[in-house]
Every structure is written in structure tokens, then in C-alpha cells.
Chains A and B, each alone.
Chain A
Amino acid sequence: MRKEALSKGTIYVLLSLGAILMLLPFVWMISTSLKAPNEVMAMPPVWIPSEWQFENYSSASEAAPFGTYFFNSIIVTVLTTIGELLTTILAAYAFSRINFHGKGVVFAVLLGTMMVPGEMLLIPNFVTVSNLGWIDSYEGLVIPWIASIFSIFLLRQYFFSVPQELSYAAKVDGCSDFKFLWYVMVPLAKPALITIALLKIIGSWNAFLWPLIVTNSQELRTLPVGLSAFTTEAGIKYELLMAASTMVILPMLLLFFVMQKYVISGVARSGLKG
């Protein structure tokens, strides 16, 4: 009993240390966002600004049309997430439950594409999107990102864990593949789907290079592109950058707090069954 309490104590100490370590960058970001320029790089570091510069937030939001950027980020994130969920569900079902000619080869080729680094695909993708006439449009921002091999793989493994008997039972009752997928598989795979969606939302919200490359007009740019407004040749305006970053990260933090349960259960459950 005593021994158990002790080990629990140790665990909490370690967890607290870890939590503090994780929290530090956020604290530093918020503290910097409230500093005057000459305190940002001061030595020794200043943790609590001598005078709180709340106007950093207003000057940061005036530096670029962040309203438009917010709108675009939300549109792109929502559309790519829905798109990816749809393609992933259909593909994962086909690869796990339907027998068709060359299934193994197709799946191996798809997995093989995961080995190509994203940087190498940048120019070919740009050329393709440009031939389709999607430069500087929402299509260019959204459509290249509505399929993910990693998600298909993840969901396929999850689908495998659903007992085959369920589909036999459904077939006996005269249920089509599509109906079985929607009414039985999808509800069962909810934790995995939420995990996929969250990963997508975070990735899409943070994406920088592609939105920058594929758009030309301010009306179509997203938040991470907007953050580059504070980087100049002679230095970075950290206090403004951090103020803007705080505003940009806030929605993601809220999402995490609300969905934390699902993130963890998604990972845990799929791990147990797989």
C-alpha cells in the first residue's frame, strides 16, 4: 500500500515535470507577445514584461488582413477534412472488405508513394495543379489534400478488426456493401475517424508552403502565410509574431481541450485491437 502510494507520487512528479516542459513554449509565446521590443531578446531573459504591451495584439492584427486569412483557413480546413474522411472511408473499405483483381499490388503502390518526400512532389504537384487551371483558387488549396494514404492505412487496419461475422449477418439480411459500410462500419470506427480528422485539422491549419505556392492573391491566403508578415531582412518582430501566433493557435488549443478524450481513446483503442 505504502509502496504503491510512493510510486504514484513519483509518477505525478514526473508527469508534472513533463507538463511544465510542454507548457514552457506556450508561456514564453504569451509572455513575449506582451513585451516591448527591447525586452524580447534581453539577457537574462525577461519572463514577466515590465509593462504589458497589449497594443501588440492590435498592431499585429492590423499588419495583415487576418480576418480574411482566418476565413480561408477555416474553409480549407473544413473542406479538406470532410474530403479526406470520405475518400478514406471508401478506400479503406475497399482494401479491407472487397476482393478485386490486383488489390495487393494497388495497395503496395499506394504505400510506396508514402516514401516519396513531400518536398520532391512540390514542383510536379504545382505543374499539375497549374495545368488544371487551379492556381490561385480554393480548388488548388483543397483538392490535392483530400486523400491521404496514411489515413487509408490506419482505417484499413481498424476495419480489419471488425469481426467478419457482422458482414455475413448483414449480407444475410440483404444489406448492400454501401449500406453495411455506412450503418455498421462507420459508426464502429468512430474513434479512428476522429483521430484521422483531428490529425488532418491540425495539419491543414498549420500548412504553410503549399498555400503560399498555390495562391497569389491576398484574398485566398491562409493564416500561416499571414504570419510571415513579421519576418524582415534585418530581424524578426518577435513580439508581434508571438501576438499573432497566440491568436492563430487559440482555436487549435480549444479544439484539443474539447476533443482530448477522443484523441486518446482513438489511439488507445485502435492500438488494443490492432
Chain B
Amino acid sequence: MKKVIAVLSLFLVLFLAACNNSSGANANGDSDANGPVEIEFWHAMSGPHEEAIKKFADDFNSAHEDITIKPVNQGSYDDLQQKIMAAAKAGNLPDMAQATTNVIPEYIDNKFITSLNDFIEDPEIGLSEDELNDYIEVFRDSSTWDDTYYSLPFSKSTRVLYYNQTLLEENGLEVPKTWDELQEVAKTVTKDGVVGMGFENSYEAEFQGILKQMGGTYMDEETGEPQFASKEGQEAMTFIKDMIDDGIARTAGEDEYMSNPFGRGDVAMYIGSSAGIPHVDGAMEDGIEWSTAPIPTLDGQAATTFAGNDVVIFNQSEEAEQKAAWEFMKYLTSPEVTSEWSMLSGYLPIRQSALDTEEYQTFLEENPAYKAGTEQFDAGFFIARVPGGDAVRNIVLEEMDYILQGMKSVEEGLTEAQDRAKAELQ
């Protein structure tokens, strides 16, 4: 036993010594003065999405001799965020990363994110007025803080209404355009074990949409003050609750994602993320025709949330590296790449000109489910970008559960959620 341990510990020492040499050479992306600039790009995309990002990096690298992009998957969005905060403290942030817009204020406060205005306005490497305006407005807005760009949109999605075409046709029904119509349709098709309407377990997005349509505010971004327990908020919540109480709507519940019951044909319509289209496609049982439509309006008043991830550049890198990262950022958000990315991933194209290309139009004709998302840009707004926004979301969802279970009235639940959210944000 002693000999074995002695030999093994020798092995341990030698091994660590050996890999010290090999890892020392390529540690952390610092490149030689002569070689290409190496840019590390942290993201949270896995599976086919990660493959697509690798391909974009390869294409970019072969077109740029002096830059090498190294994409690195860092697990889930939470893992990525945790790692960015740790790396910021340790002073070894990557050159660029994917980031949800609600964490960016934290990056700004801690001063480790690069403002993009200097790059954008640069006559040589910047974006022209036309190019900048080609970015879709709702995304541009969600990437600026007080007229300063801190990010550019990358993987963006919106909410869309999924519907079971076969079932609606059997009942001689049209796709609903307003909430009144939706209620009617849901009422008619709720029979034989089918429920008319479905909400994801994260249906606070729908609550926000209806609230906005009613003219209310979910959270004031300037002051960071939650305001959803207003009269409008209570009406919006009552609207959702009534549908569920009447048995014409349900939440995903134990099914986790609405795509499961929808795919089985147990639910005729549901509202979910447009990024879920490829997933729904996989979950559908044979023989069910389906597609998507824009979110219903409140008698013509449209509003729906847009969410997703942007790309950011960090300021702990050398200027040359930040510049190289900017080049890749421009490339990732170029019309060609964003349309290819959209067709591969189900995320929305983030440039108007990408939508207008013949290639994308053909794609929409062949895949009509992708159309709805792009038709509601004008109705789009984004969730208040407040640090701690995720915690508020969990509080709201928890209180909404109490309301749906009848443990609290709509007013009690929302007021309590608002108070708790205020305490959380302080």
C-alpha cells in the first residue's frame, strides 16, 4: 500500500509539473506581439446553437488573418453570469460575452464594461447612420442606457401565440386577433379533454403584456419601482385568472413547458417564446398542423415583451483586443449573419435589412411559424432592465400561484408581490 501511494504521489507531482508547462503557454488568450489577437467570447449557447456560433467564429477567423475568435460555452445563463462576476473581481474577464440586458446595469455600475459609442461613431470602423438605424428599434432601445450603447442585440426573442391549426379548422374557427376573440375560441374548443388556452409557467411575461395593453406599468426603470399592483395590474391578473377558473385555460404545471401538452394536442393554443419554435416542432405528434400568430391585442391595442441576450465588450482587455472584439460584434450582428443565425436557431433577426433579403423571405414562406415574431416589432417593449429583476420575477410568479390557487385575492397577492419586490430591490 505504501509503495503504491508513493508511486502515485510521484505521478501526481510529475503530472502537475508537466501540465504546468503546457498550460502556461496558452493561458488566458494573451497573444504574442506578432501573432493574431486572440479574442475570447463567453456564451451560454449549447447544442446546435453552439455549433452555429463556432461556425460564425471560424468564418470570421478565416476572413481576418490578424484576429482569432475563441468562443467558450460557460453553462447556463446563471453560470455565465456568476462566472463573469467572479472573473471581473479577479481581473481576468474575457474580451466579450453574451449577457441578458438586466445584468448590464450591474456591469456599468462596477465599471468593467466598455461603452460602444466611441466604436460606433468611429468613421473608419464604426457604423453609419443608416447601418445603426437598420438595427430594429426595440432592440436598439434595450441596448442603450442614457444614450450610451453598452451592448448590441444578439439572441432575441418575443412571445407568440401558438395554435393548433387542425383543431381550429375542425371547429370552423379563425385564429384570434384580440383577447375577446381568443376567449371565444378557447371556450368553443374546450371539450373532449382539450383545454382551449395555455400559459407557460413563466406567464408573468403575458401579465406584463396585457398590463401594458391596458396602459399600466410593470416597473419604472428610472426609479426601479415596481408598480404592477395598480388597478390595471389587477384587471390584467383577473383576466388571466378568470380564464383559468372557467376551465378554458391552464398553465404548463407539471408538464414544465407548454410545448409538451400542445404537442400531444391537449391544448389548442398557448403563448410562448418564439425561440421555442424548433422545440415545438420536435414535440408535435404526427398529423397535427400548427403555426404561430402575433399576440392578441386589447381591442387593437398591441403590446408584447421582447427579451433575450445581447453581446458586450469588457474593458479589462487591451485596446487592440477590444477593437478586435468590436469587429466580431459587428460581424455577429451583420444582416447576413443575423439572418443565418435566425434561420438556424429560431431567434429573431435583429436587422431590418436581414428581414428584407430574398433568402429570408423564402425561409418565411417555407416556415410560416417564424413570421409572427417579426410582425410585431412595432408593438414590442422590453422588460425593465433593473438589477435584481430575476428575483422580482420569482416573487411575482410565486404570488401569482397563490392567487390562482385561491389562497389570496388578486389585490392581496399583487400588493404583497409589489411590497416584497420593493424590499428586494432596495
The reply to whether A137 and B86 contact each other, CB–CB distance below 8 Å, is: no
- Set of chain A residues within 8 Å of B12, measured between Cβ atoms: 79, 82-83
A266 within 8 A of B: no
Does residue B216 face the partner (Cβ distance < 8 Å to A)? no
Cross-interface CB contact of B28 among A63, A136, A234, cutoff 8 Å: A136
CB distance from B388 to the nearest CB of A (A): 18
Chain A stretch 221-245: residues in CB contact (< 8 A) with chain B: 225, 228-235, 237
Q: Does A29 contact B (CB under 8 A)?
A: no
A41/B260 contact (C-beta < 8 A), A212-B74, A234-B273 known: yes
A71 and B94 CA atoms in complex are apart in Å by 26
A190 and B5 CA atoms in complex are apart in Å by 13
Given known contacts A130-B91, A130-B92, is B15 in contact with A41 (CB within 8 Å)? Answer: no
- In the complex with contacts A135-B27, A216-B40, A232-B47, A42-B86 CB distance below 8 A: no
B320 beta carbon closer than 8 Å to chain A: no
Among the 9-residue stretches B236-244, B275-283, B290-298, B411-419, the one with 4 or more Cβ atoms under 8 Å from chain A is: B275-283
- B79 & A127 in contact (Cβ 8 Å cutoff): no
The reply to whether A232 and B46 contact each other, CB–CB distance below 8 Å, is yes
What is the bound-complex CA distance between A204 and B15, given in angstroms?
18
| B82 contacts the other chain (CB 8 A) | yes
Q: Is the CB of A186 closer than 8 A to any CB of chain B?
A: yes
Q: Which residue on chain A has the smallest CB distance to residue B278? A: A234
Knowing A130-B92, A212-B74 are in contact, say whether A38-B263 is a contact too (CB < 8 A): yes
B85 contacts partner chain A, Cβ-Cβ < 8 Å: yes
Cα(A142)–Cα(B346), bound, Å:
40
Contact B86–A133 (Cβ < 8 Å) = no
Chain A 187-213 against B: per-residue CB contact (8 Å), 1 yes, 0 no?
100100000000000000000010011
Chain B residue at minimum C-beta to C-beta distance from A131: B90
Residue numbers in B under 8 Å from A162 (CB-CB): none
If A137-B19, A234-B276 touch, whether A127 touches B90 (CB-CB below 8 Å) is yes
User: Hey, what's the 0/1 contact readout for B99-137 against A, CB within 8 Å counting as 1?
Assistant: 000000000000000000000000000000000000000
Known A-B contacts A135-B27, A213-B86; the reply to A231 vs B5 at CB < 8 A is no
Give Cα A187 to B47, complex, Å.
Answer: 49
Task: Please name all residues of chain B whose beta carbon is closer than 8 Å to the beta carbon of A233 when the two chains form the complex.
Answer: 273, 275-276
In the docked arrangement, what's the CA distance between A46 and B273, Å? Answer: 28
CB < 8 Å neighbour of B86 from A122, A229, A230:
A122
Q: Does A92 contact B (CB under 8 A)?
A: no
Asked if A136 contacts B23 (CB within 8 A), the reply is: yes
B27-A136 in contact (CB<8A): yes
> Chain B: interface residue count, which band?
35 or more
| Stretch in B173-181, B251-259, B376-384, B395-403 with 4+ CB within 8 Å of A | B251-259
* A182 pairs with B2, CB closer than 8 A: yes
Q: Would you list which residues of chain B between 266 and 312 have a CB under 8 Å from chain A? A: 272-273, 275-276, 278-280, 282-285
* CB nearest neighbor in B for A141: B19
For A138, give its contact among B23, B273, B280, B282 (CB under 8 Å). B23
Q: How long is the Cα–Cα vector from A41 to B263 in the complex, in angstroms?
A: 10
Closest partner residue, chain B, to A63 (CB atom): B47
Q: Are B27 and A37 touching (Cβ within 8 A)?
A: no
Instruction: With CB as the reference atom, state the residue of chain B lying closest to A221.
Output: B73
Our pick among B20, B24, B72, B279 for the contact of A217 (Cβ within 8 Å) is B72
Beta-carbon nearest neighbor of A127 in chain B: B90
- Least Cβ–Cβ distance between A126 and chain B, in angstroms: 4
Q: Point out the residues of chain A lying under 8 angstroms from B76, CB to CB.
A: 228, 231
Which of A37, A127, A136, A234 lies at the interface centre, i.e. has the most chain B CB atoms within 10 A of its CB? A234
Chain A residues with CB under 8 A of B280: 234
How far apart are the CA atoms of A228 and B83 in the complex, in Å? 16
Interchain CB contact under 8 A, B278 and A230: no
- Given A123-B86, A139-B16, do A186 and B263 touch, yes or no (CB 8 Å)? no
Separation of A38 and B259 alpha carbons in the complex (Å): 10
Q: Are B23 and A137 in contact (CB under 8 A)?
A: yes
- Is the CB of A85 closer than 8 A to any CB of chain B? yes
Q: Please report the C-alpha to C-alpha distance between residue A82 and residue B284 in the assembled complex, in whole angstroms.
A: 50
* A176 to B: closest C-beta gap in Å: 14
**Contact code string B219-260 (vs A, CB < 8 Å = 1, else 0):** 000000000000000000000000000000000000111011
Please list the residues of chain A having a beta carbon within 8 angstroms of any beta carbon in chain B: 37-38, 41-43, 63, 75, 78-79, 82-83, 85-86, 122-123, 126-127, 130-131, 133, 135-139, 142-143, 182-183, 186-187, 190, 209, 212-213, 216-217, 225, 228-235, 237
Give 6 nearest A-B pairs by CB, closest first. Answer: A234-B276, A234-B279, A130-B90, A137-B23, A126-B86, A41-B260
A-B contact list, 23 entries, CB within 8 Å: A37-B282, A38-B284, A41-B260, A82-B9, A85-B5, A86-B9, A127-B90, A130-B87, A135-B27, A137-B23, A138-B15, A139-B23, A183-B2, A186-B1, A187-B1, A212-B83, A213-B83, A216-B28, A229-B47, A232-B46, A234-B259, A234-B279, A235-B276
Q: A126-B86, A237-B47 are in contact. List 13 more A-B contacts (CB 8 A).
A: A43-B264, A85-B5, A137-B27, A143-B16, A186-B2, A209-B79, A213-B86, A216-B72, A230-B46, A234-B273, A234-B275, A235-B257, A235-B259
